[in-house]
Amino acid sequence: MKLEDFKIGEQRDWKFGVITREVYRVSENKFEIHDTSSGWMVAKVSKSTMLKLTSGEVSLLDIDFN
C-alpha cells in the first residue's frame, strides 16, 4: 500500500497476513483501520504510525482498536 497515492476520503483493502482489513484516509495525517475479523473494530492512527505499520516497524497488536 502506497500512502502517497492514497487520497483523502478514499478507502482501500489492506491484506495483512490472512486477514483483509479496510483502511480509510480521514485527512492528510489521520487514517482509520477497520477490522471485522472478530466483530467490527476500528483503530484511528496517524500517518506516521500508518507508515510504520506498512513497513513492519509497528505491529497491529500495538494499536488500540475500539
Check: CB of residue 34 under 8 Å from CB of residue 28: no
Check: CB of residue 3 under 8 Å from CB of residue 27: no
Count: domains in the chain: 1
pLDDT tens-digit profile of 24-62? 999 999 999 999 888 889 999 999 999 999 888 999 889
pTM of this structure: 0.87
Domain assignment of residue 42, given as a range: 3-62
Question: Which cell numbers hold the place of 2?
Answer: 502506497
Q: Which residues of 38-62 are buried (b: 16+ CB within 10 A; e: fewer)?
A: eeeeebebeeebbeebeeeebeeee
Q: What is the pLDDT of residue 18?
A: 83
Give the pLDDT band of residue 1 (cuts 50, 70, 90): low
For residue 58, which phi and psi values (nearest 5 degrees)?
A: -125, 140
